[in-house]
Structure 1
Amino acid sequence: MDFKLQAEDTKSKARAGVVTTDHGEIETPIFMPVGTAGTVKAVHQRELKEDVKAEIILGNTYHLYLRPGLDVLESAGGLHKFNGWDKPILTDSGGYQVYSLKDRRKITEEGVKFQSHIDGSKHNFTPESVMDIQRTIGADIIMAFDECTPYPCDRKYARESMEMTHRWLKRCCDRFDATEPKYGYSQALFPIVQGSTYHDLREQSAEAIASFDREGNAIGGLSVGEPAEMMYASTDLVCNILPKDKPRYLMGVGTPENILECIALGIDMFDCVMPTRNARHGLLFTSEGIINIKNEKWAKDFSAIDPNLAGYVDVAYSKAYLRHLIKSNEMLGSQIASVHNLSFYLWLVKEARAHIQAGDFASWKNQMIPKLTKRL
Structure 2
Amino acid sequence: MFEFEITSNCNNTEARTGIFFTPNGKVNTPKFMPVGTLATIKGISSKQLNSTGSEMVLSNTFHLHLQPGEKLIREAGGIHKFMNWSKPILTDSGGYQVFSLAKLNNISNEGVEFKNPRDGSHVFLSPEKVMNIQMDLGSDIAMAFDYCPPHTATENDMEDSLQKTHAWLQKCVETHQKSDQALFGIVQGGKYPRLRENSAKFISSFDLPGIAVGGVSVGESIDQIHNVINYVPNFLPRNKPRYLMGIGSLSEISLAVAKGFDLFDCVLPTRLGRHGTAFLNDERLNLRNARFKNDFSPIDKTCKCETCTSYSRAYLHHLIRNDEILGLTLISLHNIAHLIRFTNAISNAIKDNCFTIDFAPWKTSSIAHHTW
> 1:220 pairs with 208, 214, 219, which one?
214
Q: What CA distance in whole angstroms lies between the structure 2 residues aligned with 1:128 and 1:5? A: 32
Q: What CA distance in whole angstroms lies between the structure 2 residues aligned with 1:290 and 1:42? A: 20
> 1:287 pairs with 281, 291, 300, which one?
281
Q: What CA distance in whole angstroms lies between the structure 2 residues aligned with 1:45 and 1:326? A: 23
> 1:258 pairs with 236, 240, 252, which one?
252
Q: Residue 24 of structure 2 aligns with which residue?
A: 23
Q: What CA distance in whole angstroms lies between the structure 2 residues aligned with 1:206 and 1:312? A: 41
- What secondary structure is seen at the aligned counterpart in 2 of 1:7? strand
Question: Is the deviation greater in 307-316 or in 116-125?
Answer: 307-316
Q: What CA distance in whole angstroms lies between the structure 2 residues aligned with 1:323 and 1:311? A: 18
Contact 1:14 1:265 in 2 (8 A): yes
Query: Given residue 3 of structure 2, which amino acid in structure 1 is its aligned partner?
Result: D
Unaligned runs of 5+ in 2: 365-372
Q: 1:195 to 1:105 in 2, by over 3 A?
A: same
Q: Cα deviations across residues 78-130 of structure 1 (Å, max 9, x unaligned)?
A: 11111111100000000000011111111000000011111111111111111
Q: Residue 345 of structure 2 aligns with which residue?
A: 351
Shift in Å, 1:71: 2.2
Query: Given residue 109 of structure 1, which amino acid in structure 2 is its aligned partner?
Result: N
1:122 aligns to 2:116 (yes or no): no
Unaligned runs of 5+ in 1: 371-376
Shift in Å, 1:230: 1.0
- What secondary structure is seen at the aligned counterpart in 2 of 1:235? helix
Q: What CA distance in whole angstroms lies between the structure 1 residues aligned with 2:233 and 2:190? A: 15
Q: Cα deviations across residues 331-368 of structure 1 (Å, max 9, x unaligned)?
A: 00001001000010101100011101111110760566
Q: What CA distance in whole angstroms lies between the structure 2 residues aligned with 1:296 and 1:15? A: 43
Tell me the TM-score normalised to structure 1 length.
Answer: 0.94
Q: What CA distance in whole angstroms lies between the structure 1 residues aligned with 2:97 and 2:244? A: 17
Q: 1:308 to 1:49 in 2, by over 3 A?
A: same
Contact 1:13 1:265 in 2 (8 A): yes
1:71 aligns to 2:71 (yes or no): yes
Q: What CA distance in whole angstroms lies between the structure 1 residues aligned with 2:201 and 2:276? A: 42
Residue correspondence of structure 1 range 190-339 to structure 2 within 5 A: 190-287=184-281, 289-310=283-304, 314-339=308-333
Shift in Å, 1:310: 3.6
Contact 1:9 1:362 in 2 (8 A): no
Q: What CA distance in whole angstroms lies between the structure 1 residues aligned with 2:26 and 2:251? A: 26
1:187 aligns to 2:187 (yes or no): no
Query: Given residue 354 of structure 1, which amino acid in structure 2 is its aligned partner?
Result: N
Q: Residue 134 of structure 1 aligns with which residue?
A: 134
Q: Residue 149 of structure 1 aligns with which residue?
A: 149
Tell me the TM-score normalised to structure 2 length.
Answer: 0.95
Q: 1:180 to 1:264 in 2, by over 3 A?
A: closer
- What secondary structure is seen at the aligned counterpart in 2 of 1:192? strand
Q: Residue 369 of structure 2 aligns with which residue?
A: none
CA root-mean-square deviation? 1.6
Q: What CA distance in whole angstroms lies between the structure 2 residues aligned with 1:361 and 1:291? A: 27
Query: Given residue 229 of structure 2, which amino acid in structure 1 is its aligned partner?
Result: T
Shift in Å, 1:282: 1.0
Q: 1:197 to 1:355 in 2, by over 3 A?
A: same
Shift in Å, 1:263: 1.3
Residue correspondence of structure 1 range 353-372 to structure 2 within 5 A: 353-362=347-356, 365=359
- What secondary structure is seen at the aligned counterpart in 2 of 1:349? helix
Contact 2:4 2:20 in 1 (8 A): yes
Q: What CA distance in whole angstroms lies between the structure 2 residues aligned with 1:66 and 1:344? A: 32
Number of aligned residue pairs: 363
Q: What CA distance in whole angstroms lies between the structure 1 residues aligned with 2:110 and 2:259? A: 35
Contact 1:248 1:269 in 2 (8 A): yes
Shift in Å, 1:293: 0.8
Contact 1:355 1:364 in 2 (8 A): no
- What secondary structure is seen at the aligned counterpart in 2 of 1:362? coil
